[in-house]
Amino acid sequence: MQDQVLHKECQTIELPSIPNKRYFTIGEASDLCGVKPHVLRYWEQEFQQLSPCKRRGNRRYYQYKDVVAIRQIRELLYDKGFTIIGARKFLNQQKRATKVTALQPVIQSLEAVLNLLVDK
């Protein structure tokens, strides 16, 4: 019986779709990502990927990319069991891999030009 209760708590909740808006308040981001506002404020300190705009009275406004990042962090921490340090490392490695992948076509073009010059 107790195992069933624990299993239910570990199940992922279905998150609502993200509306097509430019900015979200901390309350809206909290609702969209299934975490409390104080958790978002803490995660801002721990993850450089989260950088909400701050306006009037230090009010936070999250952009679409921030909400997507929050959902990814939530998945790593809550669903996949990463620690904060592990999630931070994973996201940094993923960012580096994305940069390398984005540069790959440029590198191939430069290699082709170099081969043409060497062949002459």
| 3-class secondary structure, 4 | helix
Predicted local confidence at residue 9, as pLDDT: 46
Predicted local distance difference test score (pLDDT) of residue 8: 41
pLDDT confidence of residue 104: 75
The Cα 49–Cα 76 span in angstroms is: 14
pLDDT over threshold 50, residue 5: no
* Confidence at 117, pLDDT banded by 50, 70, 90: confident
Domain map (residue ranges) of the chain: 2-119
pLDDT of 24 above 50: yes
pTM, rounded to two decimals: 0.71
Q: Within a 10 A sphere around the Cβ of 76, how many other Cβ atoms?
A: 19
| Least confidently predicted of 20-29, 60-69, 102-111 | 102-111
Q: What are phi and psi of 17, to 5 degrees?
A: -70, 155
Identify the DSSP state of 53. E
- Indicate left, alpha or beta for 55 from its phi (over 0: left) and psi (-120 to 50: alpha): beta
pLDDT one-digit tens code per residue, 25-84: 999 999 999 999 999 999 999 999 898 999 888 899 999 999 999 999 999 999 999 999
Fold of 2-119: Multidrug-efflux Transporter Regulator; Chain: A; Domain 2 (1.10.1660)
